[in-house]
Structure 1
Amino acid sequence: MHNVHIKFLLGLAMLMTISAYGGGGGGDGSGGNTGSTTPSTSPSNAATSTVRLADIKIDPNNSLTSVYEVDINVPLPHLATSQVYISICDNSGGGIESINYDNCLLKAALQLGAGSYQLRVPNRCESLIAVVNVIEPNTSPLVYTLNHNNQPETIWLIQ
């Protein structure tokens, strides 16, 4: 039994070595070995270089954070008697038509036409869109946008 484990491990190590050297087919559709035993010269192997920490220059205004905070207050008292939902999403598509509601940062029901939320938003989201849906016939959604102002914290009043 012990010999079986050793043979398995040796076979696995050989397979990993062959894979590391680009063996097992040339990728040209032929499926055969090209006969080369030299390591693959992929861009990751050919272009490796060392960067020293002292060589990295960072703008003094860059806090190196990957998120920003948004405190959202929604006082809509005229909707207190209605069933109301809010979705806050990335507005990279430029409008309500391009929203993917499955990827929104927040989806919630307003209570008596009001809500308060705190979001941590990735820096890649330069603009947010809020869509307030009132569940009543012939009522269009209310749409609000916020552009990130490069501040670590923003207050967004939706009214």
Structure 2
Amino acid sequence: MHNVHIKSLLGLAMLMTISACGGGGGGEGGSTSSSSPSSTVESATRLADIKIDPNNSLTSIYEVDIDVSLPHLATSQVYISVCDNSGDGIESIDYDNCLLKAALQSGAGSYQLRVPNHCESLIAVVNVMEPNTSPLVYTLNHNNQAETTWLIQ
């Protein structure tokens, strides 16, 4: 009894596979396509046709030197996160994808970041681990500079 059901299921699966592949070869009664292969392929752009602004260095990153100096927090436990600010500020930060997460030492820190060009704005969130203390928020807008110094104080 079970062999009959298994054979029926195998036969049905083979029939579905054959019909899903489009059936037989391209003779009479075979399937035809209304578009030719050349009409569905987009034309390629030649390298000579690409125009690049002479001021574009074609680099995909920029560098940011971050210097943090918050002496009023020297005795507190403090953490900094630097993230892409493409959202709506602190509410939309994805802390799992930040460029930097670190503890400040005596309210200070120095960091060098290589930032992808698509990050046009950065946000730094400084969290003080004390009750009823709101985070400090700083932003930096990238102005197409290869190197930037960001002083957070």
TM over 0.5, shorter chain: yes
Q: Distance in 1 between matches of 2:98 and 2:44?
A: 39
**How many angstroms does 1:31 deviate by?**
6.3
Q: Which residue of 2 aligns with 1:122?
A: 116
In structure 2, the partner of 1:13 is: none
Cross-structure match for 2:144: 150
> RMSD value over aligned CA atoms?
2.7
Counterpart residue identity of residue 149, structure 2:
I
Q: What amino acid does structure 1 have at the position aligned with 2:20?
A: G
Structure-2 residue corresponding to 1:91 = 85
SS of the residue 1:57 aligns to: coil
Check if 1:32 corresponds to 2:17: no
| Aligned residue among 36, 41, 47 for 2:41 | 47
CA apart distance, 1:48: 4.1
Give CA-to-partner distance per residue, 1:39-95, whole Å, 9 cap, x none: 9x8x9x932434332222101111101111000000111111000000000000121
Give the aligned partner of residue 77 of structure 1.
71
Match of 2:107 in 1: 113
Task: Map 1:132-143 onto structure 2 (within 5 A).
Answer: 132-143=126-137
- TM-score, structure 1 normalization: 0.73
TM-score (norm 2): 0.76
Offset at residue 145 of structure 1 (A): 0.4
The structure whose Rg is larger is: 2
Give the secondary-structure state (helix, strand or coil) at the position aligned to 2:20: coil
Q: Which runs of 5+ in 2 are unaligned?
A: 1-15, 27-31
Which of 51, 55, 64 is residue 58 of structure 2 equivalent to?
Answer: 64
The CA distance in 1 between the partners of 2:116 and 2:48, in whole Å, is 28
**Greater displacement, 50-59 / 114-123:** 50-59
Unpaired runs of at least 5, structure 1? 1-23
